Amino acid sequence: MSSLTIALVQTDICWLDPVKNTQRLTAKLADINEVDLIVLPETFATGFAFDQPDVGEVPNGPILDWMKQTAAQKGAVVVGSVAVNSVVVNSVAVNQDDKNANRLYWVTPAGEVSHYDKRHLFRMGNEHHHVVAGNTREVFEIKGFKVLPLVCYDLRFPVWSRNRNDYDVLLNIANWPGARRKVWDTLLQARAMENQCYVIAVNRVGDDGKGVGHSGGTAAYDFKGDTLSSAADHQCEIIVQTLDLEALNKFKKAFPAHLDGDEFQLL
């Protein structure tokens, strides 16, 4: 039986203080062992501060170094998003029109790094003025599970996350405001049901540097949209959830709605 054990880290984020945030996370993760995947919120080291000067670090910067060290120490893949200088030319970071990428890193214990750049930029927060949108859909593999990574606002766009029978787990990391919490909860369950997949969702708590409040909503859902586990609202908490690939495959075999999906092509 193939299983995947995941630590979902719901935490507050100190505004524009990567050192303090990574130190706090190291302490929080001290007792987390024997997991395969550690999932951190969107922009876990800085907060959602793309309009701030110098918020983006160069590729292979100190935040990514911390992720590599943590992955090696824990023997687990570490996932989280980082503001990164958007263009690299001949291994030199070039900041394109002062924009960054909102880059989800997938870091293995061996130090291998893959990434997904957030596709849908939150225009109501002017993210599109400060961030370069990604244009590549990625699927990562771990222990026989195929994982589709999304970042926050991506959740609202079902075409981008449509399961083409190419993933088992939809993973979304976010700084999703508490004012729109109902949307977060509803869409996560909908994505699980329509895509016949597990959903892993990690959101932050606390107020950011602009006074925007976040209530959490970190949770794991099964392929029927049922809650497997969830963190308490407004609290820093790590929940550990194990997913069963055999159970997912058995469900899809008995109810193969995925075989009747409409064909489409993204332009």
Q: Which residue has the higher pLDDT, 93 or 142?
A: 142
pLDDT in tens, 19-32: 999 999 999 999 99
pLDDT at 264: 82
Domain 3-260: CATH class, spelled out: alpha beta
Amino acid at 41: P
Q: How confident is the model at residue 144 (pLDDT cuts 50, 70, 90)?
A: very high
Ramachandran sector of residue 41 (left: φ over 0; alpha: ψ -120 to 50; beta: rest): beta
- Give the three-state DSSP class for 122: coil
Per the CB < 8 A criterion, the answer to whether 115 and 104 are in contact is yes
pLDDT at 93: 52
Q: Which of 101, 201, 226 has the alpha carbon at shortest distance from 149?
A: 201
Per the CB < 8 A criterion, the answer to whether 131 and 102 are in contact is yes
Per the CB < 8 A criterion, the answer to whether 77 and 106 are in contact is yes
**Total-model pTM:** 0.95
Positions marked catalytic: 42, 118, 152
Letter string b/e over residues 172-189, b meaning 16 or more CB atoms within 10 A of that residue's CB: bbbbbbbeebeebbebbb
**Number of other residues whose CB lies within 10 A of the CB of residue 257:** 11
Could you give the residue ranges of the DSSP H alpha helices within 11-126? Answer: 18-28, 62-74
Q: Is 8 exposed, middle or buried (0-12, 13-18, 19+ CB in 10 A)?
A: buried
Per the CB < 8 A criterion, the answer to whether 104 and 149 are in contact is yes
Distance separating alpha carbons of residues 167 and 179, to the nearest angstrom: 31
Q: What is the mean pLDDT of residues 211-227?
A: 98
Residue 82 β-bridge partners: 103
- Give the three-state DSSP class for 182: helix
pLDDT at 265: 81
Residue 150 β-bridge partners: 172
Position 190 pLDDT exceeds 50: yes
Q: Label the pairing between strands 227-230 and 113-117.
A: unpaired
Mean pLDDT of the chain: 95
Q: How confident is the model at residue 54 (pLDDT cuts 50, 70, 90)?
A: confident
Annotated domain spans of the chain: 3-260
Q: How confident is the model at residue 12 (pLDDT cuts 50, 70, 90)?
A: very high
With tokens 């990434």, the residue in question is 115
Tokens linked to 115: 């990434």
CA distances from 138 to 26, 61, 232 (A): 28, 22, 30
Distance separating alpha carbons of residues 50 and 28, to the nearest angstrom: 26
Q: Is 204 exposed, middle or buried (0-12, 13-18, 19+ CB in 10 A)?
A: buried
Percent of the chain with pLDDT over 90: 90
pLDDT at 1: 62
